[in-house]
Every structure is written in C-alpha cells, then in structure tokens.
Structure 1
Amino acid sequence: MMHCFSKEMLNRFSFLSILIIVVFAINSCTKLDSTTLGGDLIPGSDRLATDTLMVPVTTTSFIENDTTIIDKTVQHVLGYVNDPMFGTTTAAMYFQMLPTIYPFSYPVGKDSLFLDSLVLSLSYNGAYGDTTASTTINAYRITDPNFKPARRYRVSESVQFSPADFLGSTTVKPTQIRRGYKLAFKGDSVFNQLRIRLDDALGTALLKESTTTGFLRNDSAFKAYLNGIALVADSTTSGSVLNYFLLNHPNSRLNLYYRYRKTDGTLDTTGTVFTFVPDTIRSASANKIHRNYNGSTAQPVLLSSSPNSLAYLQTAPGTAVTVKAPGINTVAGKNYIIHRAELVVRQVYAGPLSIENAFVQPNLHLYTVGADGKNAPIPFDSASYYIPSSFDFNRNVFAHNILETYTGGEPNFFNDASGNRVGEYRMNITRFIQNIANGKATLRDFRLAAPYFAQFRAPENFTFNVSSSVSINPISYGRLQVGGGSHPQYPMFVRIYYSKQ
C-alpha cells in the first residue's frame, strides 16, 4: 500500500526530526562533560551531580639531605652556575683513563718515539643554563690512593688532588663543542667532544716509560703514578652553564699522539688511547656537585622551617617541599565517588626572561611521608603508576617503572596574568582520596620534589630500597619557584571532583 504525505506534513516531520537530533546532541554533550573531568576517573553514575571541593594546603620548603650517586655509565656534569633564585652550583668530575692492556707496549723502542701531544677528549651530551656562556675547565692529576673503582661516590663527595699538579686548561662554549673542529693529527672533523691538551711532561712520561719495569707494567703501578684526572670549572672566569659528558663512550679517552722512527729511518705519525672502563675493578669515577644558597632568593624560605607563600623546587641534589592538607579529611567517611583528586602546583614567574629561559621547569614527583618520615609511594594510586621492573644490580635497588602520564609530573604551560609563560602541574591522588572517603586509608603528609631518581624506603621485610627504573630528571637540570599554600594569586591546593551516592 502506498502512503502519500502532503508538503506541509513533510515539513513538520523534518522540523520534529531536527528538534529530536538537537535535544539528543545537547544531552550527549552534557553527559560527556560530566564524565571526563581530568581523565582517569573512578567510574560512577553519569547521572550524579558533580561537585568540586577546594582544599587549602600549607607548604614548607627545605634542602634535601641528598644521597644521590652518579653511576659510571650515565652522564656526568661539569661547570658553574650562578642563579639569583637558587645561588651557585659547582660541579667537578674525577675519573681514571687506563691502558687498554698490561703490560702496555709501543711498536718501537722508546728511543725511536717522539711526542706530538697528549689530549683528553670527552663525549659531550648537552648543557643546562646559558648555552652562550664560556666555561674555563682546569685539569689536575689525581694521586689520591683512596680513589677506588669499587666505590660508588655520592654527589657530596670529592677526590683529593693538589693544585700544584696542574695538567692543562681550556675555555669553551657549548656551541663550540657542538660545532666541532678538525684534528691536527688526522685532519678529520670531530663533533660533540670536549678536548683539552694536557701537559707535555705527562705525555712524555707515558711515551718513554719502560713497559716491563715501569708504571706501564700493571694496573697498580699505573695508578700509583696517575690515579686519575680531576676536571674543575673555574668559578671566577666561567659563565652560568653546566655541561654534561659521557665517560662510558668511545670518544671519551686520553689520546697520546706521537711520531715513531720506522726501519727506513723516516718518521710516521700515529697514536694510542687510554680509556675509561666502567666496572668495579678498572676505572673509578666521581661527580661532586655543590649547591650554595647564600644570598639567593630561596635561602630565607629554605632556612625558615615554616610554611611560606612561595615554595622552591630544585633538581637533585637540591630542595623539596612538605605539603600538608588536613582539609582532605572532610571527605573521610562520606558516601562519595571521587572522580578526580589532584594537587595543583603553579609556577610563579620571577624573571627576567633570559634567566627563565635558561633555567627550565623540571619534572616533579609527589610522594607521601611514611610513619618513619621517609619517602613512600602514594597509597592505592601507586598501583596505577608504579610498576615493578627488575632488580638494578648497579644501584642495589628494586627498579619500578613510573608512568608520569598518570602522576601528572610533567608541566603544562599557560600565560599568567602578566602574560608570562609559566608551568602548571596536576599531581594525581584520586584513588588515595577515594580510599580515605571509604575509610580504607588514613591521610598522610605529602612531599613534592624534582628528583634525579624517585627513591623510596625499603618496604617491610625488604633489605633493598626501591627506585624508579629511569631518572625523572637529568642530574642538576631544572628549578622552579611555585606558589605556596598562602600565595595570593597562584596558591597550591588540592582539588577534588566528587559525587554523592
């Protein structure tokens, strides 16, 4: 049977169809907004009304008692920084370059060997600070017999050397190291290498020493003569930049260039290398990093031991912030569904722009404070971001993968009221707060930091501590001034999106 519709009926039908579609679309949009508050929501009824609770906090900044160790296979830092906000940083490197084999020998006798030069080269891995600044680097000979390869040195520890054992110096900029230059020996171009010509007397000694009775005969004899090289940045002539180097790289070595007389009486030019061997038997290394907060903007706050309107976060070895939020307990015992809970941290611009561009925002990590006062993961949330990996034998820790996309430790950027580009962090504590509401968790204080590795105390009945499997930040890379709990414009606070069941 055929049904016929008039033009008027068709128009009415079209209007009703469009109206239904619009109403459906509006309803769908409303439903979407109520279920995507910040992501990773704990499931709840889409039809429940969502409220927001803003919980004030108090913040106390402090200098961490840092036990960071920089292992042999990772980048080391060298240089000098003068930052008005955090004061000065000086970083020195100590390491051993050794013969590739013992007893070490040359292709001809020492009477037929003639020195060209002795050059230390280090593989360059980047810079932090003013990359246009020059750094004057002085090299010294280490004779300290206590510098041992089996020991893992903390960043607070240095190696003894005498200024009288001066070996050489150079002044370089990061741009010069990256740009590269030609070698006098081969005419080849090298890039991303720091090169320091060392004292000819040391080069001659290495070239002319007996391979059977002298210090080239075995490892202990060689280290008794040259137990390593110390590199120290001259703070009086250096600019504000830290440079990063890899000792465990083919380009990091002691290059001995020399000429030797061939059987036909002519001279040929060649070279040999002394290398860094990153094990517990051959080469030792240490990386001393010293922070001096005297006269800095942060110093009064760091030394006050009291809550402040500003908080200061500096990458390890650096500072951290204790965060207290007792108001979170207002949700305890409540029949709430927590859709999202987060600690909101916002940068307070200090300027000038040249300094802000040089000293970048780090990644942050949020801990809780355990009953013993040590760092602990965030209860319940850690199950979502803290994934067991393997045992790290170099660091003697159980390594865990940390999902920063969950924790919120990476900065987002916005323009503040004055148009300055600043960072904001939203640290996820959703599941912890949900379990406080359910009566399954007790509120703890928080600790906010910009760590090298996120380190945690050993769990009960465990001998070894726990750590992130990879670094959260490069060592000494980044710093941040943020609003404390009482800041008038950009306070730190806890924000909770919830529904009543």
Structure 2
Amino acid sequence: MKIQFRTLGFAATCLAALYAFTGCNEATVLGKELIPGSDKVVVKDTTINNLKTHNIFRTDSSIRTGGGYYTGALGTIGGDPIFGKSHGFLYTQLGLPKSEFTFQGTGWVLDSVVLYIGCDTAWYGANAGFKVDVYRMNETNFKIDTNYLYNKPRSYDPSKKVGTATIYPVYPKDSLSIYGVKYAPQLRIPLNAAFGQELFQQRADGAFKNDSAFRIWLNGLAIVPDTTMGGNTMLYTNLNSGDTRLTVYYKNSEKDSLMENFKFDAYGSAHANYFVRNYTGKEVANLLNTGNPAGDNIVYIQEAPGIYTNITLPDIAEVPNAVINKAELVITEINSGSAGQDDLFTEPSRLMLRRYITHDSLSFLFDYGNPQSPELAYFGGNKTVISDLGPYKVVQYKFNIARHLQLAQQKKIENSVLRLEGWSSRMIDLPRLKAGGGSATPPANVKLRIIYTEL
C-alpha cells in the first residue's frame, strides 16, 4: 500500500471546515506545535483511511490460574447481544483450623455453615444478584503447586451439592461484624445444614488429623454460576483477600455463639478459575478469524481472555528523507445504543498497541518507552468520551506512534503488524468495544494521521 502525501499548504485555512466534516473525530485537528515556523521547511500530512484490520480469537496460553494467581471471575454475562456469553467458575480447597482438630465441648448443635469468598468491590455488568450452586469437587490431583489453564473446567460431583445462594456485588462499606470482629467485604454463601452435620461427624484421628487428610475427605468446593438464567453480572474474586474461609457457627452443651474457621491457605489450598466465552449466534461471531484479504470493517475488542485485532500498516519506507513530527492511530467506537446495551457493557478504560516481532511473539512499540516506566501520557491509549448524547456515548482511543514509524521509514525495524487489545491489571476481565475497522466509512474507521517535515 503506497501512501500519497499532500503539501500542507492550506491546512490553516481549512482547519475549521475539516473539523466540522469529521464531526467527533478529534484526531484530524492539527496542533500548532506541529507546524514549523520557517517558510523554507516543507511540512506534509496525510490521513490513511484504508488500514487492514482482522479480529482474532484464540486461547491465550499465557493466562493461568492456581498456584500464585489468586484472582478470578465468578458469574454470568448471558445477555450481551454483540459479544455473547461469558461464564466464570471458581474452585478452591480449604484447610483445618489446626491439626487434630475437634469442635469444642460436646453436644454440638449447628446454627449455620457459611462459605466466604474474598471479592473486589467492583463488578462488570448489572448491579444485580445471580444464582450459584456449590458442589464437592472430585478433581484428581488438585494441588497448590499446579497452574491451570483458564479454559479447562475442573471436575466436581453434580450429585453432591452442598449449597445454593443468590449472591450480589459487594461495596466498600459492606464489612461484616461477627461476634465483635470486623471482616472486609466478601461474598457470603450459606451452605446446607446437612453438610455442617457431615463436618460434625469427622474426627481428630480421621479427616481432621491434618490438612492432607482433610483434603482427601473434602477435595475442594466448586462455586458454579447458573448459566441458564441469562444473568448479566460478573464479580472479581480474590481468594487471598477478604479472609476466604468456611465458617461453622454452632453451640455446645455449655456455650452459645461458637464458630470454627476452615480457611483458605495461600500456600496450601489448591484453587482455579474456569472462564469460558461463547459467541454462538451473536454479531461478533461473523467477523472472527475470517482471514479476509480486505480486512474486517468492524473492530471488536474484548479484555483478555477475549478478542483482539491485528492492524496492518502501509509501507512507509518510500517516504523521502524526513522527520515524522506526529503519527496518530485513532480508534473510534461504533455505538450500538440500547440495542447493543452499550450502557451496561462498558468499554475498556485503556487499549494497548504492541507489535509482532515473530509470528506469535510481541514487543512494545518504541513510543511506549521503558516498560518498567512507560511514557503513557505520550503514547496514549486511554478512553476518551468525544460525544455523549444520553445513551449514545461515543468513545475514542488515540496512540502516538511517530517513533515506530520513523524507525520503519529508516528501515531500522520491520513495519510489522500491530496488535490492538484491551489492557487491564486483571488477569481476566470483561470490558469490550465495537469500533470502526479499517474499511469502515469515515470518520468511524481506524485511521492513521501522519505529519512529517522534509529535510
């Protein structure tokens, strides 16, 4: 693809008209600092509107759960008309209060047994409850020293359900006070009284002898969301926060208000998160892994593990000896309004742009700076609202890639394909974006604005 440059001779006089024509496309406004003051300097610019974009969905082998990874996602997104369904299952083991444990005194009477799960005070989708069932696991060799691929379910026994509950998002002020002790916000799942009675039946020389014996008797618990009800809430769990535990509340023949905690052990309790996507019958399914030589006219981005987009830039090696003053890649949302439920299923707060250095190996662009201390203010990628008419909000993302293009123009690096993806601090996240692709109608299309000075 050959870039046709035009002399920036009448940019100042046309600036107002250009801005009006492009509507919400802020990226076409030329900053004064980019126009050199000398009449002897020739500044040129071009906006490339025919970039190739391809939406990709593959298993992300870098996302693991278990071991030292304690965060996850629990819940169901079942009603996204564009991106389909997402489900998160949680699995965990617990430990004894102490070795050779026994409940206090004699004549035990169960009050309740409750499973508490550490959870962030943030969620995705609806602020609503959803149903979960809790089952006893029967996963072979479920161990703390194993990392588990996120898209592989762990085994549980559907005939051994020990609890059912409707759980809700938690708020920062949702702390619990239990017998005068305050606990951080957490999910609370009551379990069956029959399971509490099973715990009463165990002995210090049997299942309660040590953690190993206990985990043979109770291999783990699977917290399984109802995937048939079409809920739209996903919670972010953290087993190593919020005092994850199973608590038995009881009394004996002498005392009331007793409790025993079977806690999650960060160094001993096996755990995993199963997270699955299903795009069947939804809009996005039509433009995944198409391999279309002309590219896809819509960009779909979904936080990992989800959908990313490859962007092919044109060859700029033929640009004469020049300094690239600015090169801005612009991604503009296509808002689907109430039909797409864009008000409920929000966009990523940041996108990331990386380059392929081999078929599947990625590197940061030079404009990103030192990965240990990136130049984010310069590089860009933040979500910016450029139009907000009630539910029809439009957001835009911009990246400065002048250094990358300068090096490519000088043939110091290959002008390789770029990967555009959601960027989150979470291992598993949900925000998603529908934007104009390379062949979409301007101004919604992905575009590259280049301003350079001939030397």
d(CA) in 2 for partners of 1:285 and 1:495? 48
Conservation of the 8 A alpha-carbon contact between 1:75 and 1:125:
no
Aligned: 1:215 with 2:200: no
Q: Match of 2:352, as an amino acid?
A: H
Aligned: 1:75 with 2:43: no
The gaps in structure 2 that reach 5 residues or longer are 1-29
- Aligned to 1:153, what secondary structure does the other structure show? strand
d(CA) in 1 for partners of 2:130 and 2:317? 52
Q: Which residue of 1 aligns with 2:381?
A: 409
Q: Which residue of 1 aligns with 2:307?
A: 319
Q: Which residue of 2 aligns with 1:66?
A: 60
Q: Deviations over 1:440-495 (max 9, x none)?
A: 2221111111145xxxxxxxxxxxxxxxxxx2x56222000111011113111221
Aligned: 1:133 with 2:128: yes
d(CA) in 2 for partners of 1:299 and 1:434? 37
Conservation of the 8 A alpha-carbon contact between 2:117 and 2:245:
yes
Q: Measured at CA, do residues 357 and 70 of structure 1 come closer, stay the same or move farther in structure 2, by a change above 3 Å?
A: farther
> Cα offset for 1:127?
4.4
Among candidates 247, 251, 266, match of residue 243 of structure 2: 251
TM-score by length of 2: 0.84
Q: Match of 2:413, as an amino acid?
A: A
Among candidates 468, 475, 488, match of residue 441 of structure 2: 488
Q: Measured at CA, do residues 269 and 419 of structure 1 come closer, stay the same or move farther in structure 2, by a change above 3 Å?
A: closer
> Cα offset for 1:278?
1.4
Q: Which residue of 1 aligns with 2:452?
A: 498
Q: Say which one has the larger Rg.
A: 1
> Cα offset for 1:49?
4.5
Of Structure 1 and Structure 2, which has the larger fraction of its residues in strand? 2
Among candidates 223, 229, 246, match of residue 231 of structure 1: 223
Among candidates 198, 208, 223, match of residue 191 of structure 2: 198
Among candidates 85, 91, 95, match of residue 92 of structure 2: 95
Q: Deviations over 1:3-42 (max 9, x none)?
A: xxxxxxxxxxxxxxxxxxxxxxxxxxxxx954268xxxxx
> Cα offset for 1:299?
0.4
Q: Match of 1:372, as an amino acid?
A: H
d(CA) in 2 for partners of 1:416 and 1:168? 44
Conservation of the 8 A alpha-carbon contact between 1:484 and 1:491:
yes
Q: Which residue of 2 aligns with 1:117?
A: 112
d(CA) in 1 for partners of 2:312 and 2:45? 19
Q: Which residue of 2 aligns with 1:371?
A: 358
Q: Give the alignment of 1:262-273 within 5 angstroms.
A: 262=254, 267-273=255-261
d(CA) in 1 for partners of 2:241 and 2:391? 44
Q: Which residue of 1 aligns with 2:45?
A: 52
> Cα offset for 1:191?
6.9
Q: Match of 1:158, as an amino acid?
A: P
> Cα offset for 1:190?
6.7
What's the RMSD between the two structures over aligned residues? 2.7
Q: Measured at CA, do residues 274 and 36 of structure 1 come closer, stay the same or move farther in structure 2, by a change above 3 Å?
A: farther
Q: How high is the sequence identity, in percent, across the aligned residues?
A: 28
Conservation of the 8 A alpha-carbon contact between 1:359 and 1:478:
yes
Q: Which residue of 2 aligns with 1:386?
A: 371
- Aligned to 1:165, what secondary structure does the other structure show? strand
d(CA) in 2 for partners of 1:479 and 1:313? 6
Q: Which residue of 2 aligns with 1:35?
A: 33
> Cα offset for 1:215?
0.6
TM-score by length of 1: 0.77
- Aligned to 2:121, what secondary structure does the other structure show? strand
- Aligned to 1:304, what secondary structure does the other structure show? coil
Conservation of the 8 A alpha-carbon contact between 1:131 and 1:173:
no
Q: Match of 2:155, as an amino acid?
A: Q
Q: Which residue of 2 aligns with 1:24?
A: none
Conservation of the 8 A alpha-carbon contact between 2:337 and 2:343:
no
Conservation of the 8 A alpha-carbon contact between 2:354 and 2:362:
yes
Q: Match of 1:35, as an amino acid?
A: E
Q: Measured at CA, do residues 182 and 498 of structure 1 come closer, stay the same or move farther in structure 2, by a change above 3 Å?
A: closer
d(CA) in 1 for partners of 2:176 and 2:413? 64
Worse overlay, 484-493 or 437-446: 437-446
Conservation of the 8 A alpha-carbon contact between 1:117 and 1:203:
yes
Provide the aligned length of Structure 1 versus Structure 2: 416
Q: Which residue of 2 aligns with 1:40?
A: none
> Cα offset for 1:180?
4.7
> Cα offset for 1:95?
0.7
